[in-house]
Amino acid sequence: MHACRRRIRTMTAHAHHKKPTGLEIRQMVLDDLPAVYALGEKLFRAGDAPNLYRTWTDYVLVDSFSADRDFCLVAELEGEVIGFVLGYTYTKRRNSWTYGYLEWMGVAQEWNSHGVGRALVDSLTRLFREEGVRMMIVDTEAENHRAIDMFQKLGFNHPVEHVYMTRVLKPSPAAKAPKTNLPNEGVNE
């Protein structure tokens, strides 16, 4: 089974999906983490994707890679990481289904609309199927129309809007010194 997975992870993209010639989707390795993190930092900016910006950290990347590296893939072109996907599987009590969750995905902006995202999702989907996953789940911000359109074209349906809320907390007197300066206006305890 591992040999089959390896083959899927290293399959070269086909031209019929407008993918760049030479695009390779493969399993993420430890040496990819700096490039994946840097790409995420470029994509998940505070002004464009505030919720993703707040939750994309080096810890999240390392944790995903350490916990379920079988479902961490990169898109590589001429030795450069131009996209990635982080996923995992889970089961629920009293439910025979296994679920696959596409937790994070990013494609370098200059490679949007070239089939890179589709190639990543297709490869992750194949891996999930091999693991017996019955339902694959993705989420994205409601304003991310490009991702929503792609996911719908790939067969995802029943979109449900999810509300994210934030609250800036005033530091406790017992708290360590803050690492960054947060605005104090409108802060509630």
Map out the domains of the chain with their CATH numbers.
Answer: 2-153 (3.40.630.30)
The reported pTM is: 0.75
**How far, in whole angstroms, is CA 159 from its chain's centroid?**
18
pLDDT in tens, 126-136: 999 999 999 99
Per-chain mean pLDDT for the chain: 82
Given a cut of 50, is residue 76 above it in pLDDT?
Answer: yes
Alpha-carbon gap, residue 15 to 64, rounded angstroms: 30
Q: What is the pLDDT of residue 32?
A: 97
Cα 27 to Cα 33, 46, 84, 87: the distances in Å are 12, 29, 10, 12
Residue 105: pLDDT over 80: yes
From 94, 28, 93, select the one nearest 61 (Cα to Cα).
Answer: 28
Mean pLDDT score, 153-159: 86
DSSP characters for 136-181? EEE---TT-HHHHHHHHHTT------------PBPPPTTSPPPSSP
Q: How confident is the model at residue 49 (pLDDT cuts 50, 70, 90)?
A: low
* Res 10 pLDDT > 50: no
Buried b (16+ CB within 10 A) or exposed e, 28-42: beeebbebbbebbee
Least confident of 74-83, 144-153, 155-164: 155-164
Residue pair 143/150 in contact (Cβ under 8 Å)? The answer is no
Query: Which of 163, 165, 161, 32 is closest to 106 using CA atoms?
Result: 32
Cα–Cα dist 30/129, whole Å: 25
The confidence score (pLDDT) of residue 7 equals 33
pLDDT score at 15: 37
